Every structure is written in structure tokens, then in C-alpha cells.
Chains A and B, each alone.
Chain A
């Protein structure tokens, strides 16, 4: 077990180091002077220019610049956005709340709905499974931004059930959550149902049934636990997808958040902000995967003894 955690930690550090290096490379591959790249399309005083050169060690050799950059990131200094006139870290911090709310709610909805659907449809009559897998196929094919537009057009503009803009309260969260949760739900349902169907053929399921346990009971108490490990793995992978989906959804519903921040930054060539968001998601990925490793132990006691 300790070895497993150590491997995970070393991989995590590698991923983070990779993300920093990718950002640094992006900065230096951008055509034009690095100072101009950092400033983006803004105009600054010569003092600020001199400050940037000093901050990034731009008059030093490339290797020293890299070390300086790495050191700054390690201290949590993500640089400054010259478009927003504030440090990148605080700009991201200000937008984190609404995005976490959207992402958290979407993941929760996706997990609950897909678990329910998988339990209800696994090894049922052919038409139920056929309908379910047909819907899943559509679910993974629909682009998220289009789902969001459809939901907005139908439920906000045509029916007027939900507000079309903003992030105030529960009602404003419903449509964005559906848009973000739809592809995740379909992928999870698909995988869980396949897992459940394999598990339900195991001998221990028959044993449980002969003890007089109800069908639903077997599914919930015995079969479900067996599909949790691959499910949790998939959720870890889906985090990146969720962050990506949120960029378009936040824009369509005019919500504040990391997605909007990133999009504005891309438009204004505000590289420090985009780099900051990439680093943040890399950290998120690492944290989620460590949590998942610990969850494995909780789900499957057999893994606790294994090294």
C-alpha cells in the first residue's frame, strides 16, 4: 500500500512539473518578446516592464529563467494578469466558487442518475436495455455546447421556466448542471451497466438469491460494490472533461466562473491567466486521483493488504 501511494505521489509530482514546463514552453514559443507576450494586448509603463523583466529573470539565460519560473510557481505565485490588473491567483480565486458549485453539482447529479439507471436497466428485457443504450449513444454524441443552447432555447426562452442568465440561486443552476452532467452521466451509466451485467452472472449472486434475497437487494448490496472501483477510476478521468465542458456552458448561460475567465483570457492573449488555469486543473487532477486511490481501499478491503 505504501508503495502504491509513493508511486502515485511521484507520478503526481511529475504531472505537475510537466504542466509547469508546458506552460513555460508555451510562454517562450509564443512569437514576439516574452515581456510583450505577458502583457498581452495592454499598454504598461516602462516601470512595470522593468518589473516584469526582473520578476521572470528575463535578462538571464534560459535555464535560469526556467528555474526562476519554477520557483515562483512553487511558492504559489502564478504571475500577474495585465488585462485584469491583478495577480492571477486572486483572479482565479474570485471565480472559483461558482465553478466549483457547477462542477460539484454536475458530478453529484451524474453519479446519482447513472447509478440508478444502471441498477434499473442491467440485465432487464431487451427493449429496456436497447432504449437505454440508444439514449447513451445520443448522450455521448451531442456536443455539450449544443445541449446547453437547446436547454436555454427551450426552457428559458420558449417556456420561461428557468432564468437565462446569471448564477443566483438554485433555479439558475438547473440547466447548466443538466448540460454539464449529460455526457458524464451517459458514460458512467454505460460502464456501470456493463460492469453490473458481468457481476450478476457470478456464482455469489446465485447464492445470495437462493438465500431469499430480493433482486434489488442483490443489486444494491452485492453487485454494486463490484462496479464501484472502475466507476471511481472513470470519474477521476472525467474531471478534466468536466472542466472543459464548463468553459462553453458558463459562456452560454452567462455565468461567472473559471470557464469565462479562461475564455476572456484566450481572447485577450492573457497568457498568465490561461497558464494559471492549466496549472490549477493539473493540481485538481492530482488531488482527485489521490482521493480516488484512497477510495479504492474503502471500497475493496482486498486492496488494503496488497502492496
Chain B
């Protein structure tokens, strides 16, 4: 199971970095005569309404799809870590304010919050990343705050303080590295969630705009042909599900290792 997961993630990463290695054609090569054809030797996963090869589009779609999930998670980790440190080290009043904010954001339904952001900012990849980061950041803030609270009481931090090290140095060199492991585990699992959220938003037409070969957007474009050409809807979904499944398997393994 784990080997399959790692292998699949490696394959998807390869597709994201060098899609040309996995497929000979280009994602936008339309061929009206070959429209809506089922899977065959020529078109491994069939063709869409414009006669574009579904397999090629899935391969080229790996980069934007992964990028949205990874980008949102990275942004959320950075913002969340900053907030968590601020809450843990900034004194009681700051802690109270930050943690209340975190609680409020966590209690609002995630997708709706993203929709609210997108109503304000308009659709697009960057805005989707921003919207997802906004509601995932609080979980990281919570984790980093809790970790920091524990670590700052540790002997080595006290030693660093008595040695006269600056606050910034203590935080970056002594506190953060020790909070790192659980942060990485949470982020790994959350990449999957962020990926699904990004794909859902693109499916709803709020992410990358056509003809970009993003997985959610591909499903959306195939919407009108579900009844006649199932492969347009099924295969990009398989790509999303397998990716998330692999990430979850790896993430849980990491989680068990540190537990």
C-alpha cells in the first residue's frame, strides 16, 4: 500500500515537473474529427469534446493541480506559524486576540469562507490559493502555539536565555526546529485536503479558466458530456482521488511514526 502510494506520488511529481516525458502530444492539440472518442490505443483515456487527448491533459494538469494544493498549504503554514508564535510569545492580550480569531475562523464552514473570499477577489488560481490558505492557517496557528508553549518551558530554552541569546535567535534556532515535526505531519495530511478544496473550487468554475488543463476544471468542462462520454468525467477524478489517497497514506504513516 505504502509503496504504491509513494510510487504514485513520484509519478505525479514527474508529470508536474516534466510532462513531456510521459506523453508525446500537447494538452491543447484539438482534433475536431476525433472528438468524444472512448479509450483506445490512440487515445489511452479517450478524447474530450474538442478532440483533445484526456490522458495528455491529465498529465499536464498535474502541475496546476498540485501547485494549488501545495501553494495553499505553504502559505497557510507560514501565516499559521507566525500567528502561533505571536500568540505563544506575545503576552496574554495578544494570545487572547489571536486565539479568538482562530476559533472564529475555524467555526465557519470552510468552503463558504473560500467562496466569500472569491466573491471579493474574483476567480483565478492565485485567489483560490489565498482563499484556501485563509481557512487552513488557523489549524497551524493552534499547533505551533501549543508546541511553543511546551518548548519555551524546556531547559534548553532557559539555557539559551541565560546565555543572552536574542529573542529572534532563540525562536528561529531553538523553538521552531522542535515544533517542526508535528507541523510537517499536519501539513502533509492537509495538502490532500487543500488539493480537494482547490479542485472543487475549479470545478465550480472559480479557479484556473479554460482551456487550462487543471483536473477540477477538466471535470467541469466535461459536465455537459457526462451522459455520452463518461471518460471525460471519470479519469481526472481518478487522478485527484489517487493523489489524495496516496498523500493520506503517507501522511498517516508519518503521523504514526512521531506518535
Interface residues, chain A, CB within 8 Å of chain B? 11, 14-15, 18-19, 22-23, 26, 29-30, 137-138, 140-146, 149-150, 152-153, 157-158, 164, 239-241, 243-245, 247-248, 251, 262-263, 265-267, 269-271, 274-275, 277-278, 281-282, 285
Write the nearest CB–CB distance from A279 to chain B, whole angstroms.
10
Q: A142-B241, A144-B200 are in contact. Are A282 and B108 (CB under 8 A)?
A: yes
**Which residues from chain A contact B227 at a C-beta distance below 8 Å?**
153, 157, 164
Q: Closest approach, in angstroms, between the C-beta of A187 and any C-beta of chain B?
A: 12
Main secondary structure, interface of B, reads helix
A269–B116 Cα gap in the complex (Å)? 10
CB distance from B40 to the nearest CB of A (A): 20
A149 & B233 in contact (Cβ 8 Å cutoff)? yes
In contact, B115 and A271 (Cβ under 8 angstroms): no
Instruction: Enumerate chain A residues within 8 angstroms of B206, measured Cβ to Cβ.
Output: 266
Q: Which of B205-259 contact A (CB under 8 A)?
A: 205-206, 216, 219, 226-227, 230, 233-234, 237, 240-241, 244-245, 248-249
The smallest beta-carbon distance between B219 and chain A, in angstroms, is: 7
Question: Please, could you name 12 A-B residue pairs with CB atoms under 8 Å apart, sorted by A?
Answer: A18-B107, A145-B199, A145-B216, A157-B230, A164-B227, A243-B109, A243-B112, A251-B204, A266-B206, A278-B113, A282-B108, A285-B107
Q: How large is the interface on B (under 10, 10 to 19, 20 to 34, 35 or more residues)?
A: 35 or more
Report whether A153 and B203 are in contact in the complex, using a CB–CB cutoff of 8 Å. Answer: no
Question: Roughly how many angstroms separate A52 CA and B199 CA in the complex, as a whole number?
Answer: 37
Q: Which of B112, B122, B200, B245 has the most CB of A within 10 A?
A: B112
Asked whether, in the complex, the Cβ of A15 is within 8 Å of the Cβ of B226, the reply is: no
Binding site for A on B (CB under 8 A): 100-101, 103-105, 107-113, 115-120, 122, 192, 196, 199-200, 203-206, 216, 219, 226-227, 230, 233-234, 237, 240-241, 244-245, 248-249
CB B12 to nearest CB in A, in angstroms, measures: 14
Smallest CB–CB gap between B140 and chain A, Å? Answer: 18
How far, in whole Å, are A266 and B128 apart by their CA atoms in the complex?
A: 13
The residue among B110, B118, B192, B237 with the most chain A CB atoms within 10 A of its own CB is B237
A153 and B230 within 8 A (CB): yes
Chain B CB within 10 A, most for which of A29, A270, A278: A278
Q: Are A274 and B203 in touch, CB under 8 angstroms?
A: no
Residue of A153, A265, A282 most packed against chain B (CB within 10 A): A153
CA–CA, A143 and B104, complex, Å: 25
Pick from A18, A19, A138: contact of B245, CB below 8 A: A138
